[in-house]
Amino acid sequence: MGQLFLAVLAAEVLEARDTIVGGILGMRHVLSAVVQNVPGVLAHISGMLASRGYNIDSLAVGETEDPQLSRMTFVVVGDDRVLEQVRKQLEKIVTVVRVADVSARDYVERDLMLLKVKAPPGGQRSEVSELVQIFRAKIVDVGAEELMVEISGRENKIEAFIEHMRGYGITELVRSGRIAMVRSSNQGARQQEDDGESRAEKTDQ
């Protein structure tokens, strides 16, 4: 129960921190850009954004349902003026098909992470395994002294899990960056998804 309480407390602290930082630095917008799947498009777009000094918090890219198109998901930090500047710059690029502000609508976002943590056989391995279950993660590789864990979810959930693992010793970590998709109008499915995510971050009363 103590581990459960600490897990929830860590999530609440990180959420409060994100709220304060967001108020100081500006809102975080999720932009989705559908681009032609041609060589060099990622380097072109990321180079353009970097050269203009835009604060890009996260960038993920992958093929869409159409193999000729890829979707790039950006998390942009700034006010509405910065968001509009980024949109206009993206729309000027020939290989960009369309740009959408996903965060202006009701949407689902996810971040995927793989993490290696020190977990020698015995009490520490048991504790790490318990936390993996609490956060609805899964162990995908078992070593003599380490465990590799896969976890996906909202940013606060990922950050809370990282903070919890630091005490055991993180040896390697990789994240996909945030991806997002606008929700359908199915209220029932929406409630089911929200409830499932909440249960992963809360303790039993």
Query: pLDDT truncated to tens, each residue of the chain (205 aa)?
Result: 444 444 444 444 444 444 444 443 458 899 999 999 999 998 999 889 888 888 888 999 999 999 999 999 999 988 889 889 999 999 999 999 999 999 999 999 999 999 999 999 999 999 999 999 999 999 999 999 999 999 999 999 999 999 999 999 999 999 999 999 999 976 555 555 555 555 555 533 3
Strand order in the sheet with 96-101: 56-63, 69-77, 28-36, 96-101
Q: How far apart are CA 31 and CA 202, in angstroms?
A: 29
At 62 the pLDDT is 92
| CB of 90 closer than 8 Å to CB of 83 | no
Contacts of 155 (CB under 8 A, 6+ apart): 18, 109, 111, 178
At 185 the pLDDT is 75
* Two tokens, residue 140: 């995908």
Side-chain half-sphere of 125: how many Cα atoms within 13 Å?
13
At 132 the pLDDT is 98
Q: How far apart are CA 198 and CA 165, in angstroms?
A: 20
Q: How far apart are CA 8 and CA 95, in angstroms?
A: 44
Q: Does the 15-104 domain belong in CATH 3.30.70.260?
A: yes
Phi/psi region, residue 153 (left: phi>0; alpha: psi -120 to 50; beta: rest), is: left
Q: How far apart are CA 161 and CA 200, in angstroms?
A: 11
Query: pTM higher than 0.75, yes or no?
Result: no
| CB of 77 closer than 8 Å to CB of 90 | no
DSSP H/E element including 124: helix 123-134
Residues of the chain with CATH 3.30.70.260: 15-104
Q: Where are the beta strands (DSSP E) in the chain?
A: 28-36, 56-63, 69-77, 96-101, 107-118, 138-142, 146-153, 170-182
Work out whether the CA dihedral 157, 159, 163, 169 comes out positive or negative: positive
Q: Tell me which architecture the domain covering 108-183 has in CATH.
A: 2-Layer Sandwich (3.30)
Residue type for 144, please? A
Residues of the chain with CATH 3.30.70.1150: 108-183
